[in-house]
Chains A and B, each alone.
Chain A
Amino acid sequence: MVTPGASAVASRLEFPVALSPSIPEALGTSTWLVVAVMCATIFGLLLAFRRREPLDRGWVPAGMILAALGVAAWVGGAGAGWHWGLSVTGPTRSLLAAVIDVDTGPLDWGALMVAGIPAGAWLAARTRGPVTWRTVPAPVFVRRAFGGMLMGIGGTLAAGCNIGNALTGLSVLALNSAIATIGMAGGVAAAVLIEHVGRARSRMRLAEERR
C-alpha cells in the first residue's frame, strides 16, 4: 500500500511502518490460500509428530474442543460487542480497571469470560479430588511474580497474550499476532537458554565443592 520510496522514509521516521493488518493482504494473496497453506502445514507437522512419537492423550479432541470454545467466543461475544474470540490480556485489563477506576465503564464481555476461567479450573480440579492452597519457597515466589509482571507488560505491548495472539489472532491471520507470536517464541528460547546456562553453572559449582 506504500510505495518503496515512501516506506523507506517512513521506516526512518517512525517505527511502525504502514504494515497491512492482515497476513494475506501483506503478502498480496487471498485469505483462503493462506488458510490452506497453514492448514496443510499443520496437518503435515501433526502427521510427522505422530510418526515420531505416538501419544494417546486425546490431543485431537482436546484441540477440537478448544477450537469450538474459540468459535463460541467469537459468536457469543459478537452480540455483546466483543470482536476477538478467546483472549486474556485485554479482558484482564478491563477487570483491573473496574476495580481501580469505575469511570472506565461496565465490564466487557471478555472480562466476564476471563473471570470464569479460574472457576472452571477449580471445578475441574475439585471433581478429581480435594483442592488445597499451596505455598512455594520465597525465591520461587519472587521468580513467578517477576515473570507474571513481564507477562503483563509484554502482553499489553503486544496487544495480547499467548491465547489472544498465538491462537485467536493467528487464526484470523492478524499480522500483529504473527509478529507477537514470533517474539514470544524468541522470548521462550532466550529464557530457556539462560535457564540451561544457569543450571550448568550450578552443576559445575556443586562438582567443584565436592572435589
Chain B
Amino acid sequence: MRGLSAFALGMTLGFVLTRTDFCMHSALRDVVARRTGPSLRIWLVALAVQLVVVNAIAAFGVISVPLPIPALAAALLGGLAFGIGMVLAKG
C-alpha cells in the first residue's frame, strides 16, 4: 500500500515535471547567465513554500528531519561534477 502511494507520488511528479517543463539544469543555467526563466522561478517558489511548510511540520513533530553531517570536500566536488554532468547530459 505504501509502495503504491510512493509510486503514485512519483508518477504525479513525473507528470508535473513534464507538463511544466521544470528543469533544474535550465534553472541553474539561468542563475549562471543572470536570466530569469520559468524553471528558475518554479524552483524558487517551490523552495520558499517548502521552507515554510516543511520546517513547520517538522517543528510540530509530524516528520523527523535527520540532517547529514556535512562533508565539505565531497559535497563541493560532488556538486561540481554533478553540475558539469548536468550540462553535458542536458538534464
Contact = CB atoms under 8 A, between A and B. Distances in A.
A207 to B, nearest CB: 25
A171 B86 contact: no
Contacts of A86: 13
Contacts of B53: 67, 71
Contact of B29 (A75, A150, A192): A192
A76 B69 contact: no
B82 A161 contact: yes
Q: Secondary structure at chain A's binding surface: helix, strand, loop or mixed?
A: helix
Q: Secondary structure at chain B's binding surface: helix, strand, loop or mixed?
A: helix
B75 A118 contact: no
Interface in A40-66: 42-43, 45-46, 49, 52-53, 55, 57-60, 62-66
A17 interface: yes
Query: How big is chain A's contact interface, by range?
Result: 35 or more
A192 to B, nearest CB: 6
B6 A185 contact: no
A105 to B, nearest CB: 14
Interface in A153-184: 153-159, 161-163, 165-168, 170-177, 179-184
Residue among B51, B71, B82 with the most chain A CB within 10 A? B82
A171 to B, nearest CB: 4
B78 A119 contact: no
Contact of B84 (A64, A179, A191): A191
A16 B17 CA distance: 35
B3 A109 contact: yes
Given A67-B48, A179-B72, 15 more contacts: A16-B71, A16-B74, A66-B20, A67-B46, A109-B6, A113-B10, A116-B6, A119-B10, A121-B15, A150-B84, A163-B24, A171-B50, A174-B70, A187-B87, A188-B86
11 contacts: A15-B72, A43-B48, A69-B16, A78-B63, A116-B6, A117-B10, A147-B91, A173-B51, A176-B75, A187-B87, A189-B32
Interface of B: 2-3, 5-20, 22, 24-25, 28-29, 31-33, 36-38, 40-55, 57-59, 62-91
Interface of A: 15-17, 19-22, 31-32, 35, 38-39, 42-43, 45-46, 49, 52-53, 55, 57-60, 62-80, 82-83, 85-86, 107, 109-125, 143-159, 161-163, 165-168, 170-177, 179-192, 195
